[in-house]
């Protein structure tokens, strides 16, 4: 029996649910000579801001048990180069779902980037990273306050026009459901969760933080139970589709995420450990489905 591994998110068809997460797969083109990108359901492109950014000082990446810390600081070439050069080049080799991950430090910057992404024919969906600090709101991350999250979602929704808007949620909050509902109420078509947790390590020999920025985002296999719990909570509290992300590394993890309520699944830090993990996970899905008696992936979404 042929197992159906296709899925859809807010009406957009994915040949399979596997999406390399933003920041862990570049812009896809970096891997085009090493793998068939069309084995991927979608690609969430590296986070992009209005102007080019060089990111934070080094060291800005550190391994730790069960995962990694990063404080890259949104290094990217800017929205104009993304839409004018990178996405058109990617479309020459990739026919799946292209997701532009948009970051910003003000509502105006988010809106500007979303408007430009929406005008780019090769972009299918816009993913809003609301874990950035609001420079006009005292530095508090947009995604940690429901009112800020609502305002930036509303601005992005207006700017995105006909393009589907997915909001990527921060786990560094007391109530993830409150944030999710605020974004849904202002027009989010889907929700991605989770982004990285906050973490820190100290070099005990130098008595200094391992990262130049002191703290960073903690990701990797260790955060999977936290991500799964939040996906389950939000999927049962909201009516829009959820894309699960956080600690995914196997086909079994994908099944678990979808049972918790995810319609598709992003793979993040595992790409940095094994750059070929996404096509491997997609290839392993049918055998896992057969073992579990699953004919179509979509039949298990939200069954727990």
Q: Which residue has the higher pLDDT, 1 or 42?
A: 42
- pLDDT category, 174, cuts 50, 70, 90? very high
Active site residue 120: no
Considering 113, 114, 120, 132, which one is annotated as catalytic?
132
Q: What is the pLDDT of residues 194-231, one digit of tens each?
A: 999 999 999 999 999 999 999 999 999 999 999 999 99
pLDDT digits (tens, 9 = 90+) for 108-163: 999 999 999 999 999 999 999 998 876 676 667 899 999 999 999 999 999 999 99
Reported confidence tier of residue 292, pLDDT bands at 50, 70, 90: very high
Degrees to nearest 5, angle at CA 28 with 255 and 67: 55
- What are the structural domain ranges in the chain? 7-53+77-211+218-300
Q: Are 112 and 85 in contact (CB under 8 A)?
A: no
CATH 3.40.720.10 for domain 7-53+77-211+218-300: no
pTM greater than 0.95 (yes/no): yes
C-beta separation of 52 from 77 below 8 A = yes
């Amino acid at each position: 029996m042929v197992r159906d591994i296709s899925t859809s998110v807010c009406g957009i068809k994915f040949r399979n649910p596997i999406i390399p997460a933003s920041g862990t797969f570049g812009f896809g083109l970096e891997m085009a000579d090493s793998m068939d990108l069309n084995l991927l359901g979608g690609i969430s492109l590296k986070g992009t801001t209005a102007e080019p950014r060089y990111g934070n000082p080094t060291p800005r990446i550190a391994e730790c048990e069960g995962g990694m810390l990063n404080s890259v600081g949104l290094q990217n070439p800017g929205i104009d180069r993304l839409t004018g050069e990178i996405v058109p080049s990617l479309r020459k080799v990739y026919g799946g779902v292209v997701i532009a991950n948009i970051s910003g430090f003000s509502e105006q910057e988010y809106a500007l980037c979303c408007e430009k992404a929406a005008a780019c024919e090769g972009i299918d969906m816009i993913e809003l990273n609301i874990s950035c600090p609001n420079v006009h709101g005292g530095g508090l991350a947009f995604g940690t306050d429901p009112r800020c999250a609502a305002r930036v979602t509303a601005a992005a929704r207006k700017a995105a026009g006909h393009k589907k808007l997915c909001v990527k949620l921060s786990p560094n909050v007391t109530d993830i459901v409150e944030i999710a509902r605020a974004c849904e109420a202002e027009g989010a078509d889907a929700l991605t969760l989770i982004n990285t947790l906050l973490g820190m390590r100290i070099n005990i020999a130098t008595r200094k933080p391992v990262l130049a920025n002191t703290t960073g985002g903690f990701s990797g296999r260790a955060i999977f139970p936290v991500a799964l719990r939040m996906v389950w909570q939000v999927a049962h509290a909201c009516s829009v589709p959820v894309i699960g992300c956080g600690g995914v590394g196997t086909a079994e993890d994908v099944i678990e995420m979808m049972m918790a309520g995810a319609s598709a699944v992003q793979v993040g830090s595992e790409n940095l450990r094994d750059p070929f993990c996404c096509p491997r996970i997609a290839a392993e899905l049918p055998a896992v489905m057969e073992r579990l008696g699953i004919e179509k992936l979509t039949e298990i979404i939200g069954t727990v």
